[in-house]
Amino acid sequence: MGYIKKGKTYPKAKEQLKEIQDFFNTESPIEEKFFIEYSMDIAVEVDKQLKKQGLTQKDFAKKLNKRESEVSKWLSGLHNLTLRSIAKMSEVLNKKLILTASDAEEQFGNKAKVINFSTYKVEESPKIEYHHRKRSKKHIQVSNF
């Protein structure tokens, strides 16, 4: 038994693919986009640092003097991260989790180029590349059905 209900008429697969294409091509509100990008960048960076330092989420919570469930919430996005909690995580990880545009310029000089809005791409730098925000429809190819 599948999802298709007997007697119900569905749009043709070609039309469904077009709906999927429209879904991906819809521009999200900029604020939402930034919120997701920042949240994702921070959570990914924390996860990367934990792995690098051989720490579990439990160890991390202990070092933060927090309950594991609370830290899990911090990294869950259900909890809007405060600057205070980001600072605390940075302290424990001994790693700055946020680099502002000016920080990037100062740290990398003219190697850091503004790509779009406030995002930077650092050229010829040791594996540091900030998110390339230029997204055009060229990046989205929907298969020919």
Partner 1 sequence: MSNYSLIEIVSFKKVTFYSVKEIYADEELIWFSDFIKKIKNEEKISIREMLKMIGNKYEAGEQFFRHEGQAQALPSKKVNFIEIKSNLRLYCLRINNNAVILFNGGYKDAQKAQDSKISFHFQQANMISKKILKSINNKSIIVGNDNRLKWDQDLII
Segment contacting partner 1 by CB under 8 A, of 32-40, 60-68, 94-102, 104-112: 32-40
Q: Of 43, 55, 97, 101, which lies in the binding site for partner 1, with binding defined by CB under 8 A?
A: 43
| Nearer residue to partner 1 within complex by CB, 2 or 126 | 2
Cβ–Cβ under 8 Å, residues 145 and 14: yes
99: helix, coil or strand? coil
Q: How many chain residues are in contact with partner 1, going by CB under 8 A?
A: 46
Do 17 and 143 meet the contact criterion of CB atoms below 8 Å apart?
Answer: yes
Structure tokens at 104: 């990037």
For residue 14, the minimal CB distance to partner 1 (Å) is: 9
Residues 134-144 as b/e (b if ≥16 CB within 10 A, e otherwise) read: eeeeeeeeeee
Exactly one of 30, 33, 87, 88 binds partner 1 (CB under 8 A); that residue is: 33
Pull the structure tokens for residue 90.
């940075």
Residue from 87, 98, 114, 140 binding partner 1 (CB under 8 A): 140
- Interface with partner 1 by CB under 8 A: which range of 15-23, 82-90, 91-99, 110-118? 15-23
In this structure, the dihedral spanned by the alpha carbons of residues 71, 73, 77 and 83, taken in order and rounded to 10 degrees, is -50
Do residues 125 and 111 make contact, with C-beta atoms less than 8 angstroms apart? yes
Q: How far is the CB of 60 from partner 1 (least distance, A)?
A: 11
**Site membership for partner 1, residue 30 (CB under 8 A):** no
HSE (side-chain half, CA atoms, 13 Å) at 136: 1
Footprint on this chain of partner 1 (rule: CB under 8 A) = 1-4, 8-10, 12-13, 16-17, 19-21, 23-24, 26, 28-29, 32-33, 35-37, 39-40, 42-44, 47, 57, 72, 75-78, 80, 131-132, 135, 139-143, 145
